[in-house]
Amino acid sequence: MIIPIPEDRDEWLALRSKYVGGSDAASLFHAQAGFGASLFNLWHQKAGHIEGENLDDVERIEWGRVMEPVIGAFAAKRHGWTIDPGGFAIDDTTPGLAATLDFQITAHTETEFSGPGCLETKAVDSIMWKSDHWDLRPPLYIELQLQHQLCATGWSWGAIAACVGGNTLQVWKRKARPVLQAEIRKRVRAFWASIAAGEQPDVDATDSTADALKALYVVEKDKPVELAPDLIKPMHDVVTMLAVEREAIKASDSRQQAARNFIKQVMAGGGRVHVPSPDPNSPSFWVSQDNRGTIRIKEYAPT
Protein backbone atom coordinates (compact mmCIF):
# COMPACT_ATOMS: atom_id res chain seq x y z
CA MET A 1 0.00 0.00 0.00
CA ILE A 2 1.33 3.43 -0.98
CA ILE A 3 -0.17 6.55 0.56
CA PRO A 4 0.62 10.23 0.00
CA ILE A 5 3.15 11.82 2.33
CA PRO A 6 1.28 14.12 4.75
CA GLU A 7 1.94 17.81 4.11
CA ASP A 8 1.75 18.68 7.81
CA ARG A 9 5.19 18.07 9.34
CA ASP A 10 3.91 16.98 12.76
CA GLU A 11 1.50 14.52 11.13
CA TRP A 12 4.33 13.22 8.95
CA LEU A 13 6.68 12.71 11.91
CA ALA A 14 3.94 10.97 13.87
CA LEU A 15 3.33 8.58 10.97
CA ARG A 16 7.03 7.79 10.52
CA SER A 17 7.47 7.10 14.23
CA LYS A 18 5.27 4.02 13.88
CA TYR A 19 7.49 2.35 11.28
CA VAL A 20 11.05 1.30 10.60
CA GLY A 21 11.81 3.17 7.38
CA GLY A 22 14.26 2.65 4.57
CA SER A 23 16.85 5.00 6.02
CA ASP A 24 16.60 3.05 9.30
CA ALA A 25 17.21 -0.35 7.74
CA ALA A 26 21.01 -0.23 7.96
CA SER A 27 20.81 0.37 11.72
CA LEU A 28 19.23 -3.07 12.14
CA PHE A 29 22.43 -4.52 10.64
CA HIS A 30 24.80 -2.14 12.47
CA ALA A 31 25.75 -0.84 9.02
CA GLN A 32 24.45 2.71 9.24
CA ALA A 33 26.29 5.63 7.69
CA GLY A 34 28.50 7.77 9.90
CA PHE A 35 25.67 10.26 10.27
CA GLY A 36 23.02 7.55 10.75
CA ALA A 37 21.32 6.48 13.96
CA SER A 38 22.78 3.52 15.81
CA LEU A 39 20.46 0.67 16.74
CA PHE A 40 20.45 1.92 20.34
CA ASN A 41 19.53 5.45 19.23
CA LEU A 42 16.87 4.21 16.80
CA TRP A 43 15.33 1.97 19.47
CA HIS A 44 14.88 4.87 21.87
CA GLN A 45 13.52 7.07 19.07
CA LYS A 46 10.84 4.55 18.12
CA ALA A 47 10.11 3.83 21.78
CA GLY A 48 9.33 7.54 22.15
CA HIS A 49 12.10 8.24 24.65
CA ILE A 50 14.12 10.68 22.54
CA GLU A 51 13.63 12.71 19.38
CA GLY A 52 15.47 11.93 16.18
CA GLU A 53 18.16 14.32 15.05
CA ASN A 54 16.74 17.22 13.03
CA LEU A 55 18.69 17.27 9.76
CA ASP A 56 16.57 19.94 8.07
CA ASP A 57 19.27 22.59 8.40
CA VAL A 58 22.20 20.37 7.40
CA GLU A 59 23.40 21.85 4.13
CA ARG A 60 24.34 18.52 2.57
CA ILE A 61 20.84 17.17 3.31
CA GLU A 62 19.24 20.33 1.95
CA TRP A 63 21.20 20.01 -1.28
CA GLY A 64 20.08 16.40 -1.57
CA ARG A 65 16.44 17.48 -1.38
CA VAL A 66 16.98 20.25 -3.92
CA MET A 67 18.75 17.89 -6.31
CA GLU A 68 16.28 15.01 -5.90
CA PRO A 69 13.80 15.99 -8.68
CA VAL A 70 16.63 16.91 -11.04
CA ILE A 71 18.45 13.61 -10.53
CA GLY A 72 15.19 11.67 -10.88
CA ALA A 73 14.22 13.45 -14.11
CA PHE A 74 17.68 13.05 -15.64
CA ALA A 75 17.89 9.35 -14.76
CA ALA A 76 14.41 8.78 -16.21
CA LYS A 77 15.33 10.57 -19.44
CA ARG A 78 18.58 8.66 -19.86
CA HIS A 79 16.98 5.24 -19.22
CA GLY A 80 13.60 5.77 -20.88
CA TRP A 81 11.59 5.56 -17.69
CA THR A 82 8.36 7.24 -16.70
CA ILE A 83 8.50 8.26 -13.05
CA ASP A 84 5.88 9.46 -10.59
CA PRO A 85 6.24 10.94 -7.08
CA GLY A 86 7.18 8.34 -4.53
CA GLY A 87 4.82 8.35 -1.54
CA PHE A 88 4.92 6.33 1.67
CA ALA A 89 4.92 2.57 1.08
CA ILE A 90 3.63 0.34 3.90
CA ASP A 91 4.45 -3.37 3.86
CA ASP A 92 1.28 -5.46 3.89
CA THR A 93 3.05 -8.48 5.38
CA THR A 94 5.25 -7.04 8.14
CA PRO A 95 3.68 -4.68 10.70
CA GLY A 96 5.90 -1.70 11.42
CA LEU A 97 7.81 -1.80 8.12
CA ALA A 98 7.44 1.08 5.69
CA ALA A 99 9.56 3.22 3.37
CA THR A 100 9.53 6.71 1.92
CA LEU A 101 10.06 6.47 -1.84
CA ASP A 102 11.79 9.20 -3.82
CA PHE A 103 10.07 8.09 -7.04
CA GLN A 104 8.09 5.25 -8.56
CA ILE A 105 9.22 3.97 -11.96
CA THR A 106 5.80 3.37 -13.44
CA ALA A 107 6.70 2.62 -17.07
CA HIS A 108 9.91 1.43 -18.71
CA THR A 109 11.41 -0.64 -21.50
CA GLU A 110 13.70 -2.72 -19.30
CA THR A 111 13.89 -6.32 -20.52
CA GLU A 112 15.41 -7.70 -17.31
CA PHE A 113 12.67 -6.33 -15.03
CA SER A 114 8.90 -6.31 -15.03
CA GLY A 115 6.38 -4.14 -13.22
CA PRO A 116 6.99 -0.89 -11.35
CA GLY A 117 10.26 -0.13 -9.58
CA CYS A 118 11.62 2.07 -6.80
CA LEU A 119 13.98 4.91 -7.70
CA GLU A 120 16.25 6.17 -4.92
CA THR A 121 18.24 9.32 -5.71
CA LYS A 122 21.43 10.54 -4.05
CA ALA A 123 23.61 13.64 -4.39
CA VAL A 124 27.16 12.44 -3.80
CA ASP A 125 30.08 14.83 -3.38
CA SER A 126 33.69 13.88 -4.01
CA ILE A 127 34.36 13.27 -0.30
CA MET A 128 31.50 10.78 0.01
CA TRP A 129 32.45 9.18 -3.31
CA LYS A 130 35.94 8.38 -2.06
CA SER A 131 35.26 7.64 1.60
CA ASP A 132 32.28 5.33 0.91
CA HIS A 133 33.90 3.72 -2.17
CA TRP A 134 31.06 4.54 -4.53
CA ASP A 135 33.41 3.76 -7.43
CA LEU A 136 33.02 0.07 -6.55
CA ARG A 137 29.30 0.01 -5.67
CA PRO A 138 26.81 1.99 -3.58
CA PRO A 139 27.53 1.70 0.16
CA LEU A 140 25.83 -1.09 2.07
CA TYR A 141 23.49 1.30 3.88
CA ILE A 142 22.15 2.50 0.50
CA GLU A 143 21.76 -1.05 -0.82
CA LEU A 144 19.84 -1.98 2.34
CA GLN A 145 17.66 1.10 1.95
CA LEU A 146 16.62 0.05 -1.55
CA GLN A 147 15.94 -3.57 -0.55
CA HIS A 148 13.87 -2.26 2.37
CA GLN A 149 11.85 -0.18 -0.09
CA LEU A 150 11.27 -3.27 -2.22
CA CYS A 151 10.04 -5.06 0.92
CA ALA A 152 7.58 -2.25 1.58
CA THR A 153 6.26 -2.12 -1.99
CA GLY A 154 6.48 -5.81 -2.89
CA TRP A 155 8.06 -4.80 -6.19
CA SER A 156 10.71 -6.89 -7.92
CA TRP A 157 13.26 -4.23 -8.82
CA GLY A 158 14.57 -0.75 -8.22
CA ALA A 159 17.43 1.59 -9.03
CA ILE A 160 19.86 3.89 -7.23
CA ALA A 161 20.66 7.06 -9.17
CA ALA A 162 23.54 9.19 -7.88
CA CYS A 163 24.64 12.59 -9.13
CA VAL A 164 28.38 12.64 -8.46
CA GLY A 165 30.11 15.97 -7.98
CA GLY A 166 27.14 17.83 -9.44
CA ASN A 167 27.68 16.76 -13.04
CA THR A 168 27.99 12.97 -13.43
CA LEU A 169 25.11 10.49 -13.26
CA GLN A 170 25.67 6.94 -12.07
CA VAL A 171 22.81 4.43 -11.98
CA TRP A 172 22.75 0.96 -10.44
CA LYS A 173 19.76 -1.33 -11.13
CA ARG A 174 18.91 -3.95 -8.56
CA LYS A 175 16.61 -6.98 -8.34
CA ALA A 176 14.78 -7.77 -5.13
CA ARG A 177 16.81 -10.21 -3.03
CA PRO A 178 14.35 -12.55 -1.27
CA VAL A 179 16.83 -13.97 1.28
CA LEU A 180 17.98 -10.50 2.33
CA GLN A 181 14.40 -9.23 2.42
CA ALA A 182 13.39 -12.12 4.67
CA GLU A 183 16.20 -11.10 7.03
CA ILE A 184 15.08 -7.45 6.94
CA ARG A 185 11.53 -8.44 7.83
CA LYS A 186 12.80 -10.73 10.60
CA ARG A 187 14.85 -7.94 12.12
CA VAL A 188 12.01 -5.43 11.89
CA ARG A 189 9.70 -7.82 13.74
CA ALA A 190 12.36 -8.47 16.38
CA PHE A 191 12.96 -4.73 16.73
CA TRP A 192 9.32 -3.94 17.52
CA ALA A 193 9.05 -7.02 19.77
CA SER A 194 12.04 -5.74 21.78
CA ILE A 195 10.35 -2.36 22.23
CA ALA A 196 7.16 -4.05 23.41
CA ALA A 197 9.22 -6.08 25.90
CA GLY A 198 11.29 -3.07 27.00
CA GLU A 199 14.51 -4.84 26.01
CA GLN A 200 16.83 -2.13 24.74
CA PRO A 201 19.88 -3.02 22.59
CA ASP A 202 23.37 -2.96 24.03
CA VAL A 203 25.30 0.28 23.75
CA ASP A 204 28.05 0.51 21.15
CA ALA A 205 30.98 2.81 20.37
CA THR A 206 29.17 5.24 18.06
CA ASP A 207 28.61 8.96 18.54
CA SER A 208 24.93 8.30 17.82
CA THR A 209 24.64 6.14 20.93
CA ALA A 210 26.50 8.77 22.97
CA ASP A 211 23.98 11.37 21.75
CA ALA A 212 21.09 9.11 22.75
CA LEU A 213 22.51 8.58 26.24
CA LYS A 214 23.00 12.32 26.65
CA ALA A 215 19.37 12.90 25.69
CA LEU A 216 18.11 10.11 27.93
CA TYR A 217 19.87 11.06 31.15
CA VAL A 218 20.21 14.44 32.82
CA VAL A 219 23.18 14.19 35.16
CA GLU A 220 22.72 15.17 38.81
CA LYS A 221 26.26 15.63 40.10
CA ASP A 222 25.44 14.97 43.74
CA LYS A 223 23.21 11.96 43.10
CA PRO A 224 24.89 8.69 44.21
CA VAL A 225 24.42 5.47 42.23
CA GLU A 226 24.16 2.07 43.87
CA LEU A 227 25.25 -0.76 41.60
CA ALA A 228 23.12 -3.86 41.30
CA PRO A 229 25.10 -6.99 42.26
CA ASP A 230 25.12 -8.35 38.70
CA LEU A 231 26.62 -5.09 37.41
CA ILE A 232 29.53 -4.82 39.83
CA LYS A 233 31.95 -7.03 37.87
CA PRO A 234 31.15 -5.71 34.35
CA MET A 235 31.32 -2.13 35.64
CA HIS A 236 34.64 -2.85 37.36
CA ASP A 237 36.01 -4.44 34.17
CA VAL A 238 35.03 -1.46 32.03
CA VAL A 239 36.37 1.14 34.46
CA THR A 240 39.62 -0.83 34.79
CA MET A 241 39.96 -0.95 31.00
CA LEU A 242 39.41 2.81 30.76
CA ALA A 243 41.94 3.51 33.50
CA VAL A 244 44.54 1.31 31.80
CA GLU A 245 43.83 2.86 28.40
CA ARG A 246 44.11 6.34 29.87
CA GLU A 247 47.52 5.57 31.33
CA ALA A 248 48.62 3.90 28.10
CA ILE A 249 47.63 6.98 26.11
CA LYS A 250 49.55 9.21 28.52
CA ALA A 251 52.60 6.94 28.26
CA SER A 252 52.32 6.82 24.48
CA ASP A 253 52.07 10.61 24.27
CA SER A 254 55.13 10.93 26.50
CA ARG A 255 57.14 8.44 24.42
CA GLN A 256 56.16 10.16 21.19
CA GLN A 257 57.17 13.58 22.53
CA ALA A 258 60.53 12.20 23.70
CA ALA A 259 61.05 10.65 20.25
CA ARG A 260 60.23 13.93 18.49
CA ASN A 261 62.61 15.81 20.77
CA PHE A 262 65.42 13.31 20.03
CA ILE A 263 64.85 13.66 16.28
CA LYS A 264 64.93 17.46 16.49
CA GLN A 265 68.14 17.35 18.51
CA VAL A 266 69.85 15.04 16.02
CA MET A 267 68.67 16.98 12.96
CA ALA A 268 69.39 20.35 14.57
CA GLY A 269 68.57 22.84 11.81
CA GLY A 270 68.46 20.30 8.98
CA GLY A 271 65.30 19.94 6.94
CA ARG A 272 65.51 16.28 5.95
CA VAL A 273 67.55 13.19 6.69
CA HIS A 274 67.73 9.66 5.31
CA VAL A 275 67.73 6.96 7.99
CA PRO A 276 69.05 3.76 6.40
CA SER A 277 68.07 0.34 7.64
CA PRO A 278 70.56 -1.24 10.07
CA ASP A 279 69.64 -4.72 8.78
CA PRO A 280 68.06 -6.23 5.63
CA ASN A 281 64.73 -6.96 7.33
CA SER A 282 63.98 -3.44 8.59
CA PRO A 283 62.55 -0.51 6.63
CA SER A 284 64.42 2.69 5.90
CA PHE A 285 63.01 6.19 6.40
CA TRP A 286 63.13 9.74 5.17
CA VAL A 287 62.47 12.22 7.98
CA SER A 288 61.69 15.90 7.40
CA GLN A 289 60.89 18.81 9.69
CA ASP A 290 59.82 22.44 9.38
CA ASN A 291 59.91 25.57 11.50
CA ARG A 292 56.46 24.87 12.92
CA GLY A 293 57.83 21.81 14.67
CA THR A 294 56.09 19.33 12.36
CA ILE A 295 57.95 16.10 11.72
CA ARG A 296 57.02 13.92 8.75
CA ILE A 297 58.19 10.36 8.25
CA LYS A 298 58.12 8.31 5.04
CA GLU A 299 58.73 4.60 5.38
CA TYR A 300 60.26 2.42 2.69
CA ALA A 301 60.06 -1.36 2.70
CA PRO A 302 63.24 -3.41 3.07
CA THR A 303 65.02 -3.96 -0.20
Per-residue pLDDT of the chain (303 residues; tens, 9 = 90+): 899 999 998 999 999 999 999 999 999 999 998 888 999 999 999 999 998 876 666 677 777 788 899 999 999 999 999 999 999 999 999 999 999 999 999 999 999 999 999 999 998 887 888 888 888 889 999 999 999 999 999 999 999 999 988 888 999 999 999 999 999 999 999 999 999 999 999 999 899 999 999 999 888 888 888 888 898 898 898 889 888 998 888 889 898 888 888 888 888 888 888 888 888 888 888 889 888 888 898 988 876
Q: What is the pLDDT of residue 43?
A: 96
What's the one-letter identity of residue 148?
A: H
**Could you tell me which residues come within 8 angstroms of residue 31 by beta carbon, excluding any fewer than 6 positions away?**
140, 141, 144
Phi/psi for 247 (5° steps) reads -70, -35
Please give the full DSSP string across 73-106, using - where no structure is assigned.
HHHHHHHT-EEEEEEEEE-SSSTTBEEEEEEEEE
Contact 29, 184 (CB under 8 A): no
Q: What is the pLDDT of residue 103?
A: 96
Contact 245, 266 (CB under 8 A): no
Give the C-alpha separation, 100 to 120, whole Å: 10
| Predicted structure pTM score | 0.81
Q: What is the pLDDT of residue 213?
A: 92
Contact 123, 129 (CB under 8 A): no
Q: Beta strand 98-107 with 82-90: parallel, antiparallel or unpaired? A: antiparallel
Q: For 78-218, where are the E strands, in sequence order?
A: 82-90, 98-107, 117-124, 157-164, 168-175
For the chain, the first-to-last Cα distance in angstroms comes to 65
H-helix or E-strand spanning residue 249: helix 229-267
Q: What is the pLDDT of residue 53?
A: 74
Q: What is the pLDDT of residue 56?
A: 63
Q: What is the pLDDT of residue 146?
A: 97
Q: What is the pLDDT of residue 153?
A: 97
Q: Beta strand 157-164 with 117-124: parallel, antiparallel or unpaired? A: parallel
C-alpha angle 27-208-215 in degrees, rounded to nearest 5: 120
Q: What is the pLDDT of residue 57?
A: 65
